[in-house]
Each structure stands twice: as structure tokens, then as C-alpha cells.
Structure 1
Amino acid sequence: MNDAIVDFLCLSASDQIQFLKEGEFTRWPPPERIRFLKQLLQSETSSKTMASALKILRELKYRDRFFFRRFLYHQDSSVANAARKAMETSTVSHDSGEIRLADMVKRENPADRPAVVRNLLKDCDTMSESLLLSLLQIEDFRVREEVVANLSPDINLDEAVLADAVNGAVWYVRSSVVQILGRRHSGVLPDLARRLVGDANVDVRLSLAEALGLLQNEETRPLLETLSKDANQWVRRRALKALAEVKEGDG
């Protein structure tokens, strides 16, 4: 981390935003501002500062949609919305079209959403990670249940991208991604589980215990043993059940 970033992070949140919008920073050459903002967004800072940084990157016509994508599922809506706008101004229209498709599902009558998602998945032989994650971000548990239950394991997905999207995502996106990776018997799940085994959300840890139980291999045993000592009784029970199934499989 360079000295400029270190000094910046010592400022209060309001002073950080003022620096980005009105301070000496505005006189830096665009390439230097872009490098600074990208490094800033990979540091620990406030959501308001992150949203401002994303907006400025968009105004500077930075067009790396893969960089912006990691912030689409941030738990703070201001950051997610700033990333969404940046994606929409990308020179590549594919991602923004997928975002509009997810928005179309969101605009449906809540009672009709499950059927719409079910039909979408039934006719879908390909799906990008960005569309999948956009669907999981919809604040409707029935939509997420349909996606988890009906997403074909034959659809080619970059599971590492899904695992990376968990960083900073709201709890129900974290939980759904874990469930999907478990159903796909994904090789990236154990590494993700090591990051989430101490997650603050009970539903995420419960999904983790269930997903690890589907793998039933030696690599998951230490993780399940940790979850079997969880503070929540339902997580403990599911982890103990999975451990018993792993031992039964060994026998």
C-alpha cells in the first residue's frame, strides 16, 4: 500500500470524500487517479467513500467491467448501485443486458416471480455468473429458492467467480452461493468454507454445514468438526449429521 493511500485512510469519512471531489486529487492526471481509486477500493474504507470512488471511476471513463462486477453484490446498496451504473456505461453491453433481465424479474408481481425464474432456468442452457448473482441479489427468498433448486449442474459456470463474489455480499447472497456450490460438488467450496466458517450469520453457517455434507470427503471433515461446535444448535445438528454420513461412507 503506497503512502498516499495510507495518508488518505487516516482521514475521516467526510474528509476522504471532500478530498476525492474537491481536493488536490482532482488535479491529478486521470491515469494516476484511476490507479489510486482502484487501490483505494481494495482497502478497508467506508461505504460512502467506496461509492464515491466508483462514481469517479465511471466519470473517468474507466471501463473494466470485471473490476466493477465484484462490487455489484456489496451489502451496502449505495456501493452496489454505484457499481451497477458503472457496469451500465461499460463499452460491452452484455452485462448490462443481464442486469436488465434481473431487474425485469424484480419488477414482476411477487407472486409471479418464482414461475418466471423457473421458466427462465428451464429454457437456459447457458448463464453468466453476473446474471446468476444478480438474481440471487433480489430481495425475495422465493426467487433465491428457485435459483438454487432449479439451476442445472450442467450449466458451465466459473465457480471461482461465484466464490469471490461472496466478499462483501449481503448474507442471503453468501448463503445461496454456498448452497449452489454444494449442489455442484464444487472443488472451490472447501476454500470458501474456511473463510465463512465463522460467518456472523446463522443461515450462512447452516448452508455451509449442509453444503459440506454433500461433498462427503476428508477435506471437509475438519470444517464440519468446527461447525459441530457452533453456538447455534441447528448448525451443530446439521454438521454432526454430515460428519456421521462422512464416517458411514468411510466404513
Structure 2
Amino acid sequence: MNSSMFNKSNATSSIGENIYHYLRKGIIELKLKPGDSLSAKNIAEQLEVSRSPVRDSIIKLGKEGLVDIVAQSGTTVSKIDLDRVAEEQFIRFSLEEKVMMLFIEKSSSREISKLEELMEMQKANLEKKEYNTFLNYDDEFHSVFFETANKQMSWELIVSMSGHYRRLRLITLWDLEIAEDVMKQHYDLLKFIKEKNIDMARKTVQEHTMRIFAQKDFMVKKYPTFFKEKNDEIDLFNNFKR
């Protein structure tokens, strides 16, 4: 990112906010990989800013669980914590399930057209293997439900608390078969929305948000250095499914 973007005269928000969003974006898009070292000094030099807003941003990311700050040992990008993924996913499913009912009641042809447009954008980016852009359109697709139901605060809560879940979603998309399955579920969901079939729409939302349970073991085996080691993580996932 060009350092001029962190100049107050060119930014609509503070330098600190810009640095925070820059680092957070790098983490959730896996440009900064789990376990990577973070140096406030190096980041400040790279962005041509003082260390103070960089340190503040790192502390904020630490509170979100996206970086690990260990005294006298340094700061690293946190590894994906499957316990936390389960909690973040639980919050998302619990809210989205309720919102889906409101969306079906309130939605019009305008919202349906928006969903169709976003699905085309997802499809195009999947074909180009632009997985981060695909996920951005995926999130925008789901945000339409919350906006239409007038529950934007709930969506903002989901986004702000889903850093670990988002990274796992991205990793799963590196498998083409899984990515294509995501698209199929969106097409199914849109079909049930058009039919005003609340029960099937809710079931599809559940299957869509919980698909990650069936994929996590494969991803941990394929990318072991990305994940936090913990003996009891599997029980938490299995308990949630029950």
C-alpha cells in the first residue's frame, strides 16, 4: 500500500485507523500468514509513519485475537484457532438464521436482483481464482440479508468478530471443489428465497455456514503451520454440531 494513503491530508479517517485496517486486511486475506513476525519498527518505516499508531493498531488486533503479543518474545500473526472459529461461526449462524426470516418477508425484486448480480461477480472471480475478491462478494451477498432486515449492526458485529473464521473460509476456497460447492449453495438459497420457502432457506443457510466443519480436518492436515495446536478443539466442534 502506498504510504501516502496514511497521510492525514489524503485520508477520510485517522492515520491510526488506516494502519489498523491495512494490517487487519493483510491478516484476514493471508497476505500476512499465521505465525509471521510483526515489527512495529519495520511497519512504521514501510508506511513512513511514527511507531505510536502502529503499536496502537497491533494492540487492537491483539484484542481481536488476530495477533499474539508476547513480552520479550515479539509479536506474530496469530495462528487460526479452531475453538475461536467455532464461536465466530456460532454467532454468525445464530444471527443469520433469524435474519433470513425477516429478509424473506421484506425482500423485493430489487434485493433479488442485487443477489443475482453479486452471484455473477462471485462466479467471475472464482473462475479467475481471485479468492479474496470472491470472499468479499460472498460477504456482500450475505450483508444484503441484514441490510434489508434493518440489522446492519448485527452484520457489523459478525464482520468485526470473524477474523479466524474468515481465514479458514479463505483457505477452503483454495480447493476448487469446495469453492464450487459454495456457489451451488448460493444458487439453492436464492431459489428458496424466490419461492418464499423459509424452512428450506434456513436449512440451506445452516448447511452453508456449517460446511466448514466437514472441511477443517483436511485443511489442518494440508496446512498444519497455519493452525494453533490444541487438544480439545475437535470436541468443541462436535458439540456445536449436536
Say yes or no: TM over 0.5. Answer: no
Using the size of structure 2 for normalisation, the TM-score is 0.30
Larger Rg: 1
Higher relative contact order structure (alpha carbons within 8 Å, sequence separation ≥ 6): 2
Structure-1-length-normalised TM-score: 0.29
Q: Which has the higher helix share?
A: 2
Q: Which has the higher strand share?
A: 2
